[in-house]
Structure 1
Amino acid sequence: MPEHTNLKFTLPAMRILENEHRYLSFLMEEWHAIVLWFEQEQITLEAARAQLEKLRQAVLAFGVPLKRHTEKEETYFFPLLGQYIGFDQGPLAGIQEEHREIDGYIGHFLHHSEGDIGQMTLAAIRSAVHDAGEAFEVLTVHFVKEETVIFPMGENQLSPKDKERLGGQLNTLIT
């Protein structure tokens, strides 16, 4: 088996989730470059509309694997880990709240960028793009929290039987 030096975890279930983070981060970097383009002071309305359309398509495409990844965590991993560490407070509660926050930012961006982009003002476009930027920021910190707090708990707390079962449950594609 080849050495995977860029993955930190040894438990197959955590490696799956960690690898999905790498893929999602790669996709995020692509659309975040468009978000950063909007930070220029002098942009034309026509160029902004064209970039918004590209950003919207990239975020829509990103939403599919993100949703599948999040569903895997919330359906299998979090409920199982919660049996060991609790559900109502602590790291799982915060992580799940971040899932809702991310969904809100992406949903807000998509809502405010739908319809006839040709009718949007530059201010409205920048406002919508701001939500995509916020989603990127929250996702970036969120992945770090999961990989430094939640995933190590999964490796260290779950029983061998639960680790094996979780690996089987998570071994599905998000694309």
Structure 2
Amino acid sequence: MAGETLRFKLPAIRILENEHQYLSFLMADWHAIVLNIENNQYEEEEARKEFKRLRQLIVEFIEPFKSHTEKEEQFFFPLLGQYIGYEQGPILSIEEEHREIDAYIGHFLHHTLHGMDSLPIEKMKELVRDVGEAFETITVHFIKEETVLFPMAEKVMKAVDEDHLYEQLNTIII
């Protein structure tokens, strides 16, 4: 994280980009646990302890992630859609990814609600696949937004819309 700079000029887009950096920082903590469980880096008791920690990190991740995606869906996508169209194309696929990510995380949380004290390692490995998929989907998702949607927005938005979007997005996600 240290030393990362924001690439975009528009203040509204910089807010979203900064949120991506923050969320990626949070994701790094829980993704390390996923990889360690998948790669048999823990003995069973340590795996169970880290698995519980993983669940807690995911729970803590949900609120800022949902706040971020809600801001995109409520303000950014509809405004950009006025310029580039909304019914098909990149915005629609990006919104679908939001639902896909929610499903992965929701599935993991649902199946880890009870009984974590007796989970065998093989079951933990099976369950962490969901958050591993969520990590990969989010990572690619952020890249798509930063290489397609954000540059598009900087290119097409009028100043009055840029200012209004900045006012709408200028809220914290934590």
* TM-score of the two chains, using structure 1 as the length reference: 0.94
Measure how far apart 1:71 and its partner are: 0.4
Deviates more, 1:121-130 or 1:72-81: 121-130
Aligned counterpart, 1:55:
54
Counterpart position of 1:144:
143
Q: Alpha carbons of 1:82 and 1:52: their partners in 2 closer, same or farther (altered >3 Å)?
A: same
Counterpart of 2:173, as a letter, is: I
Extract unaligned runs of 5+ from structure 2: none
C-alpha offsets along residues 59-84 of structure 1, whole Å, 9 cap, x if unaligned?
11011100000000000000111111
Length, aligned pairs only? 172
Q: Where does residue 107 of structure 2 map in the other structure? A: 108
Q: Is the 8 A contact 1:66 1:174 kept in 2?
A: yes
Instruction: Give a deviation string over 1:6-51, Cα, whole Å, max 9, x none.
Output: 1110100000000000000000001111111112336433222111
Does the 8 Å contact 2:81/2:91 carry over to 1? yes
Alignment partners' CA distance in 2, 1:61 and 1:141? 21
- Please give the alpha-carbon distance, in whole angstroms, between the structure 2 residues aligned to 1:73 and 1:161: 18
- Specify whether residues 5 and 42 from structure 1 end up closer, same or farther in structure 2 by C-alpha distance, changes over 3 A only: closer
Instruction: State the alpha-carbon separation in 1 of the partners of residues 22 and 41 from structure 2.
Output: 33
What stretches of structure 1 move > 4 A for 4+ residues in a row? none
Structure 1 window deviating more from structure 2 (55-64 vs 79-88): it is 79-88
Rounded to whole Å, the distance in 2 between the matches of 1:42 and 1:96 is 35
C-alpha separation in 2, matches of 1:42 and 1:162: 50
Report Cα offsets for 1:138-166 as digits up to 9, x if no partner: 00110000000001111111111111000
User: Contact conserved, 1:113 with 1:125, CA < 8 A, in 2?
Assistant: no
2:93 counterpart of 1:87? no
Normalization by structure 2: what TM-score? 0.94
The residue correspondences of 1:24-43 to structure 2 (distance < 5 A) are 24-41=23-40, 43=42
Q: Residue 94 and residue 62 in structure 1: after superposition, are their counterparts in 2 closer, same or farther (change >3 A)?
A: same
Match of 1:124 in 2: 123
2:75 paired residue number: 76
Gap runs ≥5 in structure 1: none
Percent identical among aligned pairs is: 56
Q: Look up the equivalent residue of 1:87 and give its one-letter code.
A: Y
Contact 1:35/1:133 (8 A) holds in 2: yes
Distance 2:123 2:113 in 1: 12
Q: Is contact 2:36–2:42 with CA below 8 Å preserved after alignment?
A: no
Deviates more, 1:18-27 or 1:110-119: 110-119
